[in-house]
Amino acid sequence: MAPTDKMDEKDLIKELKSGSVTAYRRLYEQWVSKLYHFVFHYVKSEAVTDDIVQETFLRIWTGRERLDPLCSFKSYLFTISYHLLLKELRRQLNHPSMEEYLKYQNEASVSEEYIIDDIDFESFCTALVRAKQKLSPRQREIFEWNKEQDIPVADIAKKLSISEQVVRNQLSAALKTMRAELQNHAFLLSIFLLNL
């Protein structure tokens, strides 16, 4: 998808909050395949993945009035699916997939108790907005395009008429700042920074 097609995600979220089915469909089309890939990686079942992805987008629709256009839609989407994924894995604990569950927990590098008790998306959003204010205007622009709107480095370089290496350098500096500022939100930051 061309960058211009992705630049209006905040506007789409505003429209979705107002009940726009068109905005919902566009966001769905933009994220469904990436979300599917993320979930399937852990459950290895098309049927279970379909259920989790469908439930995630259902929750996006039913909770649309609570969406914040200033927060990362990507993080919100993947946090919902992550909770549903954990619920499914807990359900499977009495099945042979216990080994997969333990492998998953190890890969996630975080305990289930931490996830349930400490995830506070609203707090993360507030911290994210505050952390982005520590970036230079150019760093923030590049960071938001690449990490929030999923625009590739090459497309950003063309849009800004700068080299890809300059984009990577700016992004690297931005990531260093963001990790330092959001160290108390390591789990949600890891979802935010997913390259899918």
pLDDT digits (tens, 9 = 90+) for 137-147: 999 999 988 88
Task: For residue range 80-137, list pLDDT tens digits in order.
Answer: 888 888 777 767 654 444 445 445 545 544 444 334 334 456 677 788 889 999 999 9
- Looking from the CA of 141 toward its CB, the CA atoms found within 13 Å total 8
DSSP string, 81-104: HHHHHHHHHHHGGGSTTHHHHHHH
Q: Kindly give, in sequence order, each residue whose CB lies less than 8 Å from that of residue 28, ignoring residues fewer than 6 positions away.
A: 57
Q: What is the mean pLDDT of residues 159-167?
A: 95
The mean pLDDT of 70-83, rounded to a whole number, is: 84
- Lowest mean pLDDT of 36-40, 51-55, 101-105, 107-111, name the range: 107-111
pTM of the complete model:
0.57
Averaged confidence pLDDT in the chain: 80
Q: How confident is the model at residue 195 (pLDDT cuts 50, 70, 90)?
A: low
Q: Where are the domains of the chain?
A: 3-192
pLDDT confidence tier of residue 17, bands split at 50, 70 and 90: very high
Which of the two residues, 65 and 75, has the higher pLDDT score?
A: 65
Q: CA torsion 113→118→122→126, rounded to 10°?
A: -140
C-alpha triplet 172, 173, 176: angle, nearest 5°: 85
Residues above pLDDT 90, as percent of the chain? 41
Q: What is the mean pLDDT of residues 7-21?
A: 87
Cα 13 off chain centre by: 14
CA distance 156 to 72: 19
Residue 128 vs residues 62, 110, 125, 155: alpha-carbon distances, Å: 24, 21, 5, 24
Beta carbons of 55 and 4 less than 8 angstroms apart: no
- Closest to 182 in 3D by CA, of 140, 104, 123, 114: 123
